Amino acid sequence: MNLIVAKELFSANVAKFVVEAPRIAKSRRAGHFVIIRIGEDGERIPLTIAGSDVEKGTITLVVQRIGVSTNKLFNLNVGDYITDVVGPLGQATKIEKQEGTVLACGGGVGVAPLLPIIQAHKAAGNRVVAVLAARTKDLIILEDEVRKSADEVIIMTDDGSYGKKGVVTVGMEDVIAREKVSEAVVIGPAIMMKFAALTTKKYDIPTVVSLNTVMVDGTGMCGACRVTVGGKTKFVCVDGPEFDAHQVDFDGMLARMAGYKAEETAALEAWKAAQNN
């Protein structure tokens, strides 16, 4: 049982939770995730860690409500408990001193796990240019925090309501055109990562993506999270979550992520109906 000590709404569907988890706060590194479960009937879902406070013994999670489990978490408030929080899981991000710029791209809630990676690159002495992308202004999150760490921040919105109008790859191309980019880190929806990877591939820029597939245990036991990387089957939970973007079979991953779509939609409808009664 882990106590929620703070909650902040970023938008109607995105919220930040600060949760007591002293051991995880201490042992987690950039790139790690946790598995959480809400209630005795809850499922186990992975969430990337957006930050931690070792002294207060807390970790920060950012969640977008989509299905039943994220909605259940979204409905919790300060003083409530998350039934289970286990981690930190996965491999930590490899941070190396780069000659050129690190291009850090975040789409939607992908900015949350991107933030600690930006901070770690900055701490390693790298120049970091961040491209934050979302459909519309309200969905750009953690902008101030990113600005504190990145050397420059470019905002992209699909509808042009904030920053520059266009998708993430437009902002990426601008940066690549004007300065030497040594590495790109891209975290966001699978489809966004797919196109970002195609963009950097054109310029031969080493690129890392962080995958968020379906998981059950999160420790390598079940293989639900498997993806094809460089022609080989990899487990996102233990081999990842970060992989070489140019080796990931995004189409296969997108198909697998939609595997339980019908069940998920039906469960959400049932849950909503139960909430209204």
**Which residues here bind other proteins, judged by CB under 8 A?**
23-24, 27, 37, 41-44, 68-69, 72, 83-89, 216-217, 219-224, 226-228, 233, 235, 238, 252, 255-256, 258-260, 263-264, 267
- CA 174, chain centre distance (Å): 23
* Residue with smaller CB distance to other proteins, 23 or 148: 23
Cβ-based nearer residue to other proteins, 59 or 186: 59
Residue 269: CB minimum distance to other proteins, A: 13
| Calpha distance 132→169 (Å, rounded) | 11
Report residue 140 as tokens. Answer: 């750009």
Q: CB 195 → other proteins: shortest distance, Å? A: 20
| Cα–Cα dist 233/8, whole Å | 38
The smaller minimum CB distance to other proteins, of residues 162 and 271, is found at 271
**Cβ 23 to other proteins, closest distance in Å?**
5
Tell me how far, at minimum, the Cβ of 198 lies from other proteins, in Å. 20
- Beta-carbon contacts of residue 275 (< 8 Å; ≥ 6 apart): none
DSSP assignment string, the chain: -EEEEEEEEEETTEEEEEEE-HHHHHH--TT-EEEEE-STTPPPEEEEEEEEETTTTEEEEEEE--SHHHHHHHT--TT-EESEEEEEESPPPP----SSEEEEEEEGGGHHHHHHHHHHHHHTT--EEEEEEESSGGG--SHHHHHHHSSEEEEEETTSSSSEES-HHHHHHHHHHHS-EEEEEEES-HHHHHHHHHHHHHTT--EEEE-----SSSSSSS-TTEEEETTEEEEHHHH-SEEEGGGB-HHHHHHHHTTTHHHHHHHHHHHHHHHH-
- Which of residues 87 and 108 has its CB atom nearest to other proteins in the complex? 87
CB of 169 to other proteins, least distance (A): 25
Q: Give the nearer residue to other proteins in terms of CB position, either 152 or 263.
A: 263
Nearer to other proteins, 87 or 106 (CB): 87
Q: In the bound complex, what is the minimum distance in angstroms from residue 85's beta carbon to other proteins?
A: 7
Q: What minimum distance in Å lies between the beta carbon of 153 and other proteins?
A: 32
Closest to other proteins by CB, 80 or 249: 249
